[in-house]
Structure 1
Amino acid sequence: MEAAAAGERSQRPRNLASVQHIILVLSGKGGVGKSTISTELALALRHEGKKVGILDVDLCGPSIPRMFRAQGKAVHQCDRGWVPVFVDQEQSISLMSVGFLLEKPDEAVVWRGPKKNALIKQFVSDVAWGELDFLVVDTPPGTSDEHMAIVEALRPYRPLGALVVTTPQAVSVGDVRRELTFCRKTGLQVMGVVENMSGFACPHCAECTNVFSTGGGEELARLAGVPFLGSVPLDPDLTRSLEEGRDFIQEFPKSPAFPALTSIAQKVLQGMPALLS
């Protein structure tokens, strides 16, 4: 038994040896706010005293650098590979994205599958993350080659869980249902479902209006037999903080989205023991 465990440890990517937990943020549909949830989850976990890294594997639409106001920062080399970009002096949040590797920020990534897969594997093996409590992986939409590449590259590492994002509409819920099927087929443990854009929070009266339908994410979680982690409303303060690369969790504690996002982070922390078992 000990020999098997030692063999599994020896197969782990060396630069992930000091990463305690890995969370893949997934959705079967684009435009549901995976990068938003990845960003705010990282910030909420940071405010819980955790060290967090974000690996942005949305190669054709890398938005993580902008959401942390880190555009134009350079990735350096060390003896263990790439050094991620640090958001703050305390190095509590670190980032890696193809956005840091492009010569021009508006340059399109026009690559075929094999080249994308090779870069994803390089991101997993050659980024010197150091000690992290959580590595959040922001993925592209769908269940394509990139998803298979990241799951296979991370498979030797445990624990590995998936957080699935949807919006309330039936068309989004239908696409995300297929993402849950992908998780089952690939052996990914689903930590829970988040319903994003769940109503519009008025900036004047704080009343939440259901612009779209409501409750789709919670019903999807119930039918799939996985936890429902919460609903995040459309919030102008949240949108502005993402556009300007500000820390929403620190600067907007009275905004309607604040309790939803901090509650999701708390549920993720509480769900870690189950993921470890």
Structure 2
Amino acid sequence: MAISAQDVKRLREMTGAGMMDCKQALEEAGGDFEVAIELLRKKGQKVAAKRAEREAKEGLVVTAVAADGRAGAIVEVNCETDFVARNEEFATFARQVAELILQAQPSELTELLALRLPDGRTVETALLDLTGKIGEKIAIRRFAVLTSDQGRIISYVHPGSRLGVLVEVFGDGQLEEAGRDVAMQVAAMNPLAVRREEVPESVRAKELEIAREAARNEGKPEHILDRIAQGKLERFYKDHVLLEQAFIKDATLSVAQRLAQAGVNVRRFVRYALGD
């Protein structure tokens, strides 16, 4: 049967698939829209299967924060090329997923994939549909949720959406302003932990051993190697522990001093850099 341009347009509006794909699906379905939609979804599954082994290193890091600031979500959604990452439909999907994570707070990826988006599709089905339409591997790599009973969750996404941060702050001071400063600090300086006590013992031991070996190779006496190593560990803390880092907006202050001025403290953070 003849497929009209109006029918093709209607199917495209319903599915978002390309014009030629819609025309072919309608022809194969004999003009039946429900069958045509199913055919387009099956095509998406085929494309996904073909591209399953491809690497998806591009994409977006997106955040969503509740209106009361008590919860925040962060997600990394991947694709194969930067061109697709800048596609508005891909970006809209990533934002919808972030909002869904914020609302439902799933604990793992399989639980997230089974949740339903506002249009009624599961996240898994929407992934397949988007893969079929765009022709690239689309994947949700990771996500996290932070909640706060007494403080606030602040988010920061660096321009380009390749780097995002959630941080939990608390106190009686300037939570929004100081929280954003901390989130930007985390984005720029990539600390390992909020406090030195939170640095893993394995990391401390490794840094001490590296420092001892370096001092030994420089010919330093054996009896002072531990003292030298401890000094270098202190420097490591100042570089890699959030509260001890120099504040990026005023290097005369540490982050701890900046927060003390604002009457704020920080409990934890999550930092996602695309592809890390």
TM-score, normalisation: structure 1: 0.23
Choose between structure 1 and 2: higher helix proportion.
Answer: 2
Q: Which structure has the bigger radius of gyration?
A: 2
Greater relative contact order (CA < 8 Å, ≥ 6 in sequence) = 1
TM-score, normalisation: structure 2: 0.23
